[in-house]
Chains A and B, each alone.
Chain A
Amino acid sequence: MGSLKSVEPERIREKEHLVQDGMDISGHWNRMFEQRVIWEYTPELIEKVTDVEGAESFGWCYQCAQCVPVCPVNTVGDYAPRRIFRRVQTGMDLFTSPDLWQCTTCANCLRVCPKEVNMMNIMPAVRQEAVLEGNAPQELLDVFQNTFDYGNPLGESPKKRAAWTKKAGVDVPLMKDKKKADILWFVECYPSYHPRGIDASIAMARVLDALNIDYGILGAEEKCSCDSQRIAGEQGLFEEFAEHNIKLLKKYKVKNVVVTDPHALNALRHEYPKLGAKFKTIHYTTYLAPMMDKLDFKKELGYKVTFHDPCYLGRHNGEYEAPRDMLKAIPGVELIEMGRCRENSYCCGGGGGGMWLDGFMADHVTERLSERRVREAVETGADVLVVCCPYEVSRFEDAVKSTGNEGKLLVKDIIELVAEAMELV
């Protein structure tokens, strides 16, 4: 801290009287930009939220503040459900506030909330209204548009959704050709298009091939599961795409779906049945963990690893063991847990639309959630930060670079480690 320049308070120029956005913040250092005295409470703004179907529980908060220390955004900003409640009660309109877009719906607050204030229902419901009014960050609206136009948030060509399979080196059967399979692998967008997602998909294809699994993928027929778009406020888009995917799965008489993306897991398992879907969906870790003894491992990896529980696999869908069972079965892998793991795992920042709000979030937090998480991973002394959600590889790799930890920590999907130990990659 010694190198920081200090400035005498007298040298800071400030306005004697300042009204900002209707708030009188006159006073020394402009009162740190906050009106000091509360002049009115605005229960009508709380009722504006609780009147929205799905957002009723927003009004249940009794300020115990248990959500505050577990809110990942509050660690790097000024957030958490109880704070949002108080801000709305003292004049903030949630429908037009930046507070509406910072929640990653990681579900850690709901885990500890005695009143069951459910941000996972509140946020999508209120965001949907805001989106309809056009009150959403532009970068998010762009992603909605991409998804609408191309069937994926990355804006990649829908025709090239299965292009990665050409690099797989093994046959990746398409349902269109195969018609019938024991397992439908719902690949989802990032594993189909993102370079690091593709790495994991190739590893997955080779492992499935080695196990002689009778499976197929939808390829270009598949569209984004849209779970994150739904939670970010695009219910309409979600339903349209869900109906498309459900129709396809019905056409192929699919009974069992394996997904690589926990967000897709969430959509297919919890939301699709509301629209008439009848198949069973599991995450690839849940699927492969019991088969680990059938794999032909060829080498010891010699890695110390730490594992990041994805919010949508762990808290949202209750799967904590399968990824760990897989890691324990890979030769030469030593697992060191981070302090925040399993039920209280720290969010990477990608959920609930956070994946597409990096620019917006930069204005509201001191560092990215992924950066905070990478620091925690580095502290364990692990060589590899292991993940099993396609949002995370790219987020954490960026964070490794931005926190100056390049060379100290690798980021890998579990399936990449499996394939590596089998010498398939």
Chain B
Amino acid sequence: MAEKPILIIGGGPAGLEAARSIADLGYQAVLVEKRERLGGTPDEAHYAKLTPDLRDAPKAMQEMIDPVTNNPNVKIHFGSTVTSASGSAGNFDVTIKNSKGSTTENVGAVIVATGFQHFDPGRETQQYGYYEHDDVLTLVDLEKMLTEHKVVRPSNGQPPKSLCFIQCVGSRDRQIGNEYCSKVCCGIASKGAIEVRQLLPDCKVYIFYIDMRMYGYWENEIYWPAQEKYKVNYVKGIVTEVVKKGDGLMIKGEDTTLGRPMEIPMDIVVLSVGMEPSAGTREMAKVFGLQLNKYNFIETTGGPLDTVTTTVEGVYACGASTGPADLEDSVSSAGLAAMKAISLVRKAAQAA
């Protein structure tokens, strides 16, 4: 008996990689994407360049999308969500709904690749005033400006003379409930800092941090060039609050390596917002009965040695649906999820 198709939920980097892997190996993939476009968060949030290699994001994502679209082995449901599921490993019936109605697909395995959402700085316990001050942005807002090659102060339309990133906004915080490190923000802020310096060579750029977490090659690929070549100023000591001063902003914090308070005027403040589970991730956990961890990401069962197997047999999760993940993590875990899902549908077919 032929192998049943594998359902992939989410058309971002992880979902695309999973779909491509399954199709390349000659198996059938059914891809469900809630938007009318593929590309996931890098596309939806207007990423200008990818971290860490600063590749053009739309171009790089298109290279992931192309092998999946018009692929005879991949069936794509755009503008669709999975609303219910029944059955068990090797034989799931899932209901897929779009604006026109519902359809049902019978699949052998499921890969959840529903990703993350950016932390809403309105929930920040510090006084960063994202919703009060026009010139306080998030990494996402800055990405959009960088895509348009126009970084200006929203308050007056003028290019900033000084811009800073505040790290760990919404991450590593017991009060907020996000005790984890979001893993990518140090790199993305440093990448953004490089891009701002390229665009506005006269703008002083600062990164205020608790500790820089530039693991692996991100250290030498982003952090060091940002400091050494692009003269980005890294200051250890997180900002406690952002207040209005004259026409601009003033950041207040402690410069911890000097042990002195700082009160620095700043034209633009960028909040390095972390990752939280997306609505889709939480919704799919409900639909498939997956256990969530204490932060509402999908729980995986294999510890560090199996990053994709969930508490429900036949359902795998990859990318940032299981916790903060960079692109490297996302595509790697997507490949692993594809492999495990294929293995399952093959065994199911052989047993039938």
Report Cα–Cα, A50/B261, bound state, in Å.
Answer: 27
Report Cα–Cα, A86/B233, bound state, in Å.
Answer: 11
Inter-subunit contact B233/A41 (CB<8 Å)? yes
Interface flag for A405 (CB, 8 Å): no
Residues of B within 8 A of A36 (CB): 260-261
Q: How far is the CB of B234 from chain A (nearest CB, A)?
A: 7
Interface flag for A63 (CB, 8 Å): yes
Residues of B within 8 A of A82 (CB): 257
Residues of A within 8 A of B263 (CB): 37-39
Interface flag for B231 (CB, 8 Å): yes
Q: How many A-B residue pairs have CB under 8 A?
A: 53
Q: Which of A65-94 contact B (CB under 8 A)?
A: 65, 82, 86, 89-90
Contacts A41-B235, A41-B264 given; indicate if A60 touches B258 (C-beta within 8 A): no
Interface flag for B227 (CB, 8 Å): yes
Inter-subunit contact A43/B260 (CB<8 Å)? no
Interface flag for B89 (CB, 8 Å): no
Interface flag for A47 (CB, 8 Å): yes
Inter-subunit contact B231/A46 (CB<8 Å)? yes
Contacts A63-B236, A86-B257 given; indicate if A39 touches B231 (C-beta within 8 A): no
Task: Select which of A39, A44, A46 is within 8 A of B264 by beta carbon.
Answer: A39
Q: Chain B: which residue is nearest A40 at the CB level?
A: B264
Contacts A60-B228, A62-B227 given; indicate if A38 touches B234 (C-beta within 8 A): no
Q: How far is the CB of A41 from chain B (nearest CB, A)?
A: 6
Residues of B within 8 A of A65 (CB): 257
Q: Which of B313-331 contact A (CB under 8 A)?
A: none
Q: Which of B219-265 contact A (CB under 8 A)?
A: 223-224, 227-228, 231, 233-236, 255, 257-258, 260-265
Contacts A59-B231, A63-B236 given; indicate if A40 touches B265 (C-beta within 8 A): yes
Report Cα–Cα, A62/B257, bound state, in Å.
Answer: 11
Report Cα–Cα, A295/B207, bound state, in Å.
Answer: 64
Interface flag for B183 (CB, 8 Å): no
Inter-subunit contact B231/A86 (CB<8 Å)? no
Q: How far is the CB of A64 from chain B (nearest CB, A)?
A: 10
Inter-subunit contact B206/A41 (CB<8 Å)? yes
Interface flag for B213 (CB, 8 Å): no
Main secondary structure of the interface of B (DSSP, over half): strand
Inter-subunit contact A37/B233 (CB<8 Å)? no
Report Cα–Cα, A363/B234, bound state, in Å.
Answer: 32
Inter-subunit contact A38/B257 (CB<8 Å)? no
Interface flag for B35 (CB, 8 Å): no
Contacts A36-B260, A38-B261 given; indicate if A43 touches B227 (C-beta within 8 A): no
Residues of A within 8 A of B262 (CB): 37-39
Q: Which of B263-308 contact A (CB under 8 A)?
A: 263-265
Looking at B224, B227, B258, the one whose CB has the most chain A CB atoms below 10 A away is: B258
Report Cα–Cα, A43/B234, bound state, in Å.
Answer: 10
Interface size on B, residues (CB 8 A): 21
Inter-subunit contact B231/A38 (CB<8 Å)? no
Task: Select which of B224, B228, B231 is within 8 A of A43 by beta carbon.
Answer: B231
Report Cα–Cα, A115/B233, bound state, in Å.
Answer: 16
Report Cα–Cα, A82/B227, bound state, in Å.
Answer: 15
Interface flag for B133 (CB, 8 Å): no
Residues of A within 8 A of B264 (CB): 38-41
Q: Chain B: which residue is nearest A47 at the CB level?
A: B231
Residues of A within 8 A of B260 (CB): 36-38
Residues of A within 8 A of B204 (CB): 41, 43-44
Residues of A within 8 A of B206 (CB): 41
Inter-subunit contact A59/B227 (CB<8 Å)? yes
Task: Select which of B231, B234, B255, B261 is within 8 A of A62 by beta carbon.
Answer: B234
Q: Which of A26-59 contact B (CB under 8 A)?
A: 36-41, 43-44, 46-47, 50, 59
Report Cα–Cα, A40/B260, bound state, in Å.
Answer: 12
Q: How far is the CB of A305 from chain B (nearest CB, A)?
A: 41
Inter-subunit contact B258/A90 (CB<8 Å)? yes
Residues of B within 8 A of A40 (CB): 264-265
Report Cα–Cα, A313/B8, bound state, in Å.
Answer: 66
Inter-subunit contact A63/B231 (CB<8 Å)? no
Q: Which of A112-148 contact B (CB under 8 A)?
A: 115
Residues of B within 8 A of A63 (CB): 234, 236, 257
Q: How far is the CB of A195 from chain B (nearest CB, A)?
A: 46
Q: Chain B: which residue is nearest A90 at the CB level?
A: B258
Residues of A within 8 A of B261 (CB): 36-38
Q: How far is the CB of A92 from chain B (nearest CB, A)?
A: 12
Report Cα–Cα, A37/B253, bound state, in Å.
Answer: 10
Inter-subunit contact B228/A86 (CB<8 Å)? no
Q: How far is the CB of B208 from chain A (nearest CB, A)?
A: 10
Q: How far is the CB of B313 from chain A (nearest CB, A)?
A: 47
Residues of B within 8 A of A39 (CB): 262-264
Report Cα–Cα, A86/B258, bound state, in Å.
Answer: 8
Q: How far is the CB of B190 from chain A (nearest CB, A)?
A: 12
Report Cα–Cα, A65/B228, bound state, in Å.
Answer: 17
Residues of B within 8 A of A38 (CB): 255, 258, 260-264
Report Cα–Cα, A47/B227, bound state, in Å.
Answer: 11
Q: Chain B: which residue is nearest A89 at the CB level?
A: B233
Report Cα–Cα, A162/B233, bound state, in Å.
Answer: 55
Q: Chain B: which residue is nearest A50 at the CB level?
A: B231
Q: What does the 1/0 interface line of A98-123 toward B look like (CB < 8 Å)?
A: 00000000000000000100000000
Task: Select which of A41, A44, A60, A90 is within 8 A of B227 by beta carbon.
Answer: A60
Report Cα–Cα, A47/B234, bound state, in Å.
Answer: 14
Q: Which of B180-219 contact A (CB under 8 A)?
A: 204, 206, 212
Residues of B within 8 A of A41 (CB): 204, 206, 233, 235, 264
Report Cα–Cα, A41/B207, bound state, in Å.
Answer: 12
Q: Chain A: which residue is nearest B265 at the CB level?
A: A40
Q: What does the 1/0 interface line of B110-125 toward A look like (CB < 8 Å)?
A: 0000000000000000
Report Cα–Cα, A40/B224, bound state, in Å.
Answer: 23
Residues of B within 8 A of A37 (CB): 260-263
Q: How far is the CB of A116 from chain B (nearest CB, A)?
A: 10
Report Cα–Cα, A82/B257, bound state, in Å.
Answer: 10
Q: How far is the CB of B243 from chain A (nearest CB, A)?
A: 14
Q: How far is the CB of A69 from chain B (nearest CB, A)?
A: 15
Interface residues in chain A, defined as those with a beta carbon under 8 Å from any beta carbon in chain B: 36-41, 43-44, 46-47, 50, 59-60, 62-63, 65, 82, 86, 89-90, 115
Q: A44-B204, A62-B212 are in contact. List 15 more A-B contacts (CB 8 A).
A: A37-B260, A37-B261, A38-B258, A38-B261, A39-B262, A39-B263, A41-B235, A43-B233, A46-B233, A59-B228, A59-B231, A60-B224, A62-B223, A63-B257, A90-B258
Interface residues in chain B, defined as those with a beta carbon under 8 Å from any beta carbon in chain A: 204, 206, 212, 223-224, 227-228, 231, 233-236, 255, 257-258, 260-265
Between A and B, 9 residue pairs with Cβ closer than 8 Å are: A37-B262, A38-B261, A38-B262, A40-B264, A50-B231, A59-B227, A60-B227, A63-B234, A65-B257
The 5 closest A-B pairs by CB, nearest first: A38-B262, A43-B233, A37-B261, A60-B228, A63-B257
